[in-house]
């Protein structure tokens, strides 16, 4: 069987590349080693984690906030099995939807482990022991990533777990010790805190979400602390041991003292690594870089000219929407078009509550680059919309060029920040100034008014409602 394009891996990078290539007239095959399509994002990532975040948010609201609104209920209870089953149902519907899209777009789906025979042939090793080989003029590697761990940790996947297991526990932990105050640690830590667990986050850096704007990290830590999550920042974990149902995490603090954290579960959330195991890259001569990512040029082309790579397996943010954009770009490039991605404008979101979202540069990045900038910050608390809902925490912070007023970065902590950030991304795509945003009429009362006010503050230093 001969195809114009073979895609290996059906995550958001791979399946979107397959759809776009097919739309542009290519004959496409996609290979996925698991029985369901959708990759990490749909099966054990974005979708199931957001399902549990939403369920736990409802429970938390019912327990803590309904009373403020004059709604009196007997204390709500959790049917954890039902919550987990609901999540599984959402994953099933979504993976089924991707299969439907493959059929609709005439993409041939092969189940099995794909490995290079040479630069144009891929072997598919099926679960029943049989195999087939298909040929492709071009091949797109979209094999994604897997959780990484620390060298001294043995993941038993029962009590010392990764995000994959944390999404399908049989019980709510009594004390979940989370190693890593990054996105996964804070999102899944939030889920179990809201459901009643004690949660301690042990973070090596001196702040949580260390790559985000420092003000954002500070505000988020303050708010999550208020919700009851405990933090031990500047703590390097040195060992994790399990004794029966107990897990003991040892760490060293800034003063070199050994600190112990005892829990019944330990979530290891210290990042993810590119996944190329069993792919037979050596048979095609495809090179990796020093970080074990598939090395690609600006067109996402590997050192072998007909082989491309996208998503978590290459450099850059490990985000579903980044993988999707790269899938579209490679498909269009192979169809003779001249697509482009602005990597500076890929938004990042943390689905805690309040949510966190950012696009563009942080203050530290601007300082390092020697850019002269100004700051406009507006507190969510000052909005009528926030008072109406009771979501008072957070702010919008806009960084703009001191001379030209061009918006360089937008950082939001607040209710619905995940959706709000897109106004900033659109403005920045069109290279708007802070004044441009400040002069756009925003609906009232909305959370988006904080963006208008922060923009006005950055532009002329005179917010209207503060
Ligand atoms: P993947 O989604 O990892 O897909 C790769 C696929 O390739 C897998 O299905 C794998 O089985 C298959 N494969 C690998 N090797 C082979 C082979 N040799 N043959 C055949 N198939 C193979 N990102 C966001 O943007 N927003 C979020 O809210 C978000 N939440 C997340 C929550 C969690 C808990 C986790 C773990 C991740 C989350 N992410 C989120 C990150 C997101 O899931 C990834 O960035 C995204 O899935 C990467 O897409 P991809 O297509 O590159 O790879
Ligand atoms: P991460 O890189 O976001 O965070 C890992 C954290 O672990 C960092 O803060 C790091 O300083 C800390 N750490 C590293 N070594 C440590 C040690 N020895 N002791 C204590 N802390 C240590 O990684 P993650 O949270 O595992 O997430 C993996 C990827 O998945 C991320 O790249 C993220 O983009 C993606 N993801 C995205 C979303 C989203 O978009 N909402 C959600 C979940 C995951």
Q: What angle is formed at CA 209 by the lines to CA 206 and CA 213, rounded to 5 degrees?
A: 90
Q: Whose CA is nearest to atom 30 of ligand 2?
A: 318
Q: Whose CA is nearest to atom 34 of ligand 1?
A: 45
Q: What is the pLDDT of residue 356?
A: 98
299 is known as an active-site residue: no
As given in the structure block, the two tokens for residue 126 are: 């099926």
Q: What is the pLDDT of residue 330?
A: 98
How far is it, in rounded angstroms, from Cα 457 to Cα 436?
A: 12
Q: pLDDT tens, 308-363?
A: 999 999 999 999 999 999 999 999 999 999 999 999 999 999 999 999 999 999 99
What's the 40 CA to ligand 1 centre distance in angstroms? 3
Q: What is the pLDDT of residue 414?
A: 98
Ligand nearest to the CA of 351: 2
Ligand 1 atom closest to residue 166's alpha carbon, by position in its atom list? 34
- The answer to whether 142 and 311 have CB atoms below 8 angstroms apart is yes
Give the chain's domains with CATH numbers: 2-146+273-341 (3.50.50.60), 160-270 (3.50.50.60), 345-460 (3.30.390.30)
Report the pocket of ligand 1 as residue ranges, CB < 6 Å: 8-14, 31-34, 39-41, 45-46, 49, 113-114, 142-145, 163, 184, 275, 278-279, 311-312, 318-321, 323
Q: What is the pLDDT of residue 114?
A: 98
How far is it, in rounded angstroms, from Cα 4 to Cα 24?
A: 11
Ligand 2 atom closest to residue 163's alpha carbon, by position in its atom list? 26
> Which of 13, 270, 323, 347 to mutate for ligand 2's pocket (most ligand atoms within 8 Å of CB)?
270
Ligand 2 atom closest to residue 269's alpha carbon, by position in its atom list? 26
Give the CA count within 13 Å in the CB-facing half-sphere of 361: 19
Which position among 65, 69, 340, 444 bears the catalytic label? 444
Packing angle, helices 46-64 and 80-104, rounded to 10: 140
Q: What is the pLDDT of residue 7?
A: 99
Q: What is the pLDDT of residue 123?
A: 98
What DSSP letter does each residue of 231-297 carry, written as one string? EE-S-EEEEEEEETTEEEEEEE-TTS-EEEEEESEEEE-S-EEE--TTS-HHHHTPPB-TTSSBP--
Q: What is the pLDDT of residue 3?
A: 98
Q: What is the pLDDT of residue 242?
A: 98
Q: pLDDT tens, 439-457?
A: 999 999 999 999 999 999 9
Q: What is the pLDDT of residue 459?
A: 98
- The answer to whether 377 and 75 have CB atoms below 8 angstroms apart is no
Report the pocket of ligand 2 as residue ranges, CB < 6 Å: 150, 179-185, 187, 202-205, 210, 236-237, 269-272, 317-319, 349-351
Q: Provide the H-helix boundaries in 293-400.
A: 320-334, 363-369, 384-389
- The answer to whether 340 and 355 have CB atoms below 8 angstroms apart is no
Number of H helices, E strands in the chain: 14, 22
As given in the structure block, the two tokens for residue 424 are: 């900033």
Ligand nearest to the CA of 145: 1
Q: What is the pLDDT of residue 61?
A: 97
Q: pLDDT by residue for the chain (466 residues), tens digit each?
A: 899 999 999 999 999 999 999 999 999 999 999 999 999 999 999 999 999 999 999 999 999 999 999 999 999 999 999 999 999 999 999 999 999 999 999 999 999 999 999 999 999 999 899 999 999 999 999 999 999 999 999 999 999 999 999 999 999 999 999 999 999 999 999 999 999 999 999 999 999 999 999 999 999 999 999 999 999 999 999 999 999 999 999 999 999 999 999 999 999 999 999 999 999 999 999 999 999 999 999 999 999 999 999 999 999 999 999 999 999 999 999 999 999 999 999 999 999 999 999 999 999 999 999 999 999 999 999 999 999 999 999 999 999 999 999 999 999 999 999 999 999 999 999 999 999 999 999 999 999 999 999 999 999 999 999 9
What's the 376 CA to ligand 2 centre distance in angstroms? 28
């Amino acid at each position: 069987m001969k195809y114009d394009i073979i895609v290996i891996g059906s995550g958001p990078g791979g399946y979107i590349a397959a759809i776009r290539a097919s739309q542009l007239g290519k004959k496409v095959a996609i290979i996925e080693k698991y029985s369901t399509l959708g990759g990490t994002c749909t099966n054990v990532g974005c979708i199931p984690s957001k399902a549990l975040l939403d369920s736990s948010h409802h429970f938390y609201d019912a327990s803590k906030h309904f009373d403020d609104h004059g709604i009196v209920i007997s204390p709500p209870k959790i049917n954890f099995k039902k919550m987990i089953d609901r999540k599984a149902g959402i994953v099933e519907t979504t993976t089924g939807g991707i299969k439907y899209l493959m059929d609709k777009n005439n993409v041939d789906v092969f189940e099995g482990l794909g490995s290079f025979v040479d630069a144009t042939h891929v072997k598919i090793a099926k679960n029943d022991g049989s195999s087939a080989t298909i040929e492709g003029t071009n091949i797109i590697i979209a094999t994604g990533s897997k959780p990484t761990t620390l060298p001294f940790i043995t993941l038993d996947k029962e009590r010392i777990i990764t995000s994959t297991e944390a999404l399908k526990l049989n019980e709510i932990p009594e004390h979940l010790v989370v190693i890593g105050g990054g996105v996964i640690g804070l999102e899944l830590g939030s889920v179990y805190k809201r459901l009643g667990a004690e949660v301690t986050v042990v973070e090596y850096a001196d702040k949580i979400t260390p790559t985000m704007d420092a003000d954002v990290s500070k505000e988020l830590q303050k708010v999550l602390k208020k919700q009851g999550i405990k933090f031990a920042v500047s703590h390097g974990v040195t060992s994790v041991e399990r004794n029966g149902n107990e897990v003991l995490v040892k760490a060293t603090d800034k003063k070199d003292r050994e600190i112990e954290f005892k829990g019944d579960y330990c979530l290891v959330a210290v990042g993810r690594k590119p996944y190329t195991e069993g792919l037979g890259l050596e048979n095609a001569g495809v090179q990796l870089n020093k970080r074990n990512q598939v090395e690609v040029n600006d067109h996402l082309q590997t050192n072998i000219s007909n082989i491309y790579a996208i998503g978590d397996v290459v450099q850059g943010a490990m985000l579903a929407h980044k993988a999707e954009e790269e899938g579209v770009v490679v498909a269009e490039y192979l169809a003779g078009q001249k697509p482009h991605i602005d990597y500076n404008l890929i938004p990042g979101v943390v689905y805690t509550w309040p949510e966190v979202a950012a696009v563009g540069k942080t203050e530290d990045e601007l300082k390092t680059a020697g850019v002269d900038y100004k700051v406009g910050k507006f507190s969510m608390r000052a909005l009528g919309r926030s008072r109406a809902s009771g979501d008072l925490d957070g702010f919008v912070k806009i960084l703009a060029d001191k001379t030209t007023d061009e918006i360089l970065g937008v950082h939001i902590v607040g209710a619905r920040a995940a959706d709000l950030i897109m106004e900033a991304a659109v403005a920045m795509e069109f290279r708007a100034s802070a004044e441009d945003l400040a002069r756009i009429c925003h609906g009232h009362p909305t959370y988006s008014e904080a963006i208008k006010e922060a923009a006005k503050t950055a532009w002329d230093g005179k917010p209207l409602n503060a």
